Amino acid sequence: MDLTYRPRRLRRTPSLREMVQEHSLNAADFIYPLFVHEGAEVEPINAMPGANRWDLDNLIAEVERAWKLGVRCIVLFPKVADSLKTEDAAECYNENGLIPRAIRKLKQELPEMTIMTDVALDPYSCDGHDGIVSSQGIVLNDETIENLCRQAIVQAQAGADLIGPSDMMDGRVGAIREALDDEGFEHVGIISYTAKYSSAYYGPFREALDSAPRLTSSKPIPKDKSTYQMDPANAREAITEAQLDEQEGADILMVKPGLAYLDIIYRLRQESELPIAAYNVSGEYAMVKAAAQQGWIEEKAVVLETLLSFKRAGADLILSYHACDAADWLREG
């Protein structure tokens, strides 16, 4: 055949392919989500094979392992005892609560590790929502933000480096930025859950934290989070959310979930110069693990290909429960 250009020329050898590779993965791209709980032992999470709820002592060892593998940021999520859950989720700003204690312990033992936190009320709420639910069953926006600001300040005081509002209340980024600045925490960054969708992919995560909405007879409780999390059908709306978060002072924008929303990552990358993060969520993780356990897929290859797809779409950072495994595989080459 008389072909002027043959794309396969640059695919012929491993070294040629490496030379022209457009995107790559690095362990420092990963943010490692970790679940913590009170107690003295590690609890496996049934819906997330390989993931655990960590007690504070074993948490230190796991974070040290991640650091040695090249992971430079972790994010903490608490499983809170039911006895501490209330309608106003006041435990979220308890200075001696589980997350502030975990942050202080980590900063004492491994000060170099970047610590990101989750700012939302659902782990601490007896109603299971990210905000305060009124007696009429409405998730209250402005009242919720007051508690989110208090939560963010307590986390910053404990030593958090990045505050991660995941609640999707309107105006919360600006309010948290102002609250942090007023308390002298101008150096603490905000990684905003900018486009967080009302997704079916969160099931295993809610099992891990026991944080799903709880229907009660005392008042009407919304059965899902669709009045504040985004509609999976919407893409342009994500641009609006990103523009608002930038204006309000976000340092990093996040898309959650990741794999089913690569188009949203791409759109935000075109619209913003800020770093973009993708959350490779629990449902995505669980599906890969389940298929690998059945021998239907090669786990290492699928995980690395999936993580690379986030980078190709435009993400700079990836929150993933695969973080340590992926970092280890990347070291192996």
DSSP H or E segment with residue 12: none
**What average pLDDT does the segment 139-151 reach?**
97
The answer on pLDDT for 74 being more than 70 is yes
Using the CB atoms, write b or e for 89-117: b if 16+ within 10 Å: bbbbbbeebbbbbbbbbbbeeeeebebbb
Which residues are annotated as catalytic?
196, 256
Report how far Cα 249 is from the mean position of its chain's Cα atoms: 19
User: Is the preceding omega at residue 257 within 30 degrees of 0, hence cis?
Assistant: yes
What pLDDT sits at residue 199?
Answer: 95
pLDDT tier for residue 216 given thresholds of 50, 70 and 90: low
Share of the chain above pLDDT 70, in %: 98
What pLDDT sits at residue 222?
Answer: 87
Q: Report DSSP state, residue 222.
A: -
Nearest-angstrom CA–CA distance, 47 and 36: 16
Tell me the CATH number for domain 24-332: 3.20.20.70
**What average pLDDT does the segment 202-222 reach?**
75
What pLDDT sits at residue 175?
Answer: 98
Q: Which amino acid does the sequence have at 140?
A: L
Residues 277-323: tens digit of each pLDDT: 999 999 999 999 999 999 999 999 999 999 999 999 999 999 999 99
What is the residue extent of each domain of the chain? 24-332
Within a 10 A sphere around the Cβ of 324, how many other Cβ atoms? Answer: 20
What pLDDT sits at residue 261?
Answer: 98
The answer on pLDDT for 217 being more than 60 is no
Give the lowest-confidence range in 31-35, 127-131, 202-206: 202-206
Q: Return the structure tokens found at 229.
A: 């999390």
DSSP H or E segment with residue 248: helix 236-248
**What average pLDDT does the segment 144-166 reach?**
98
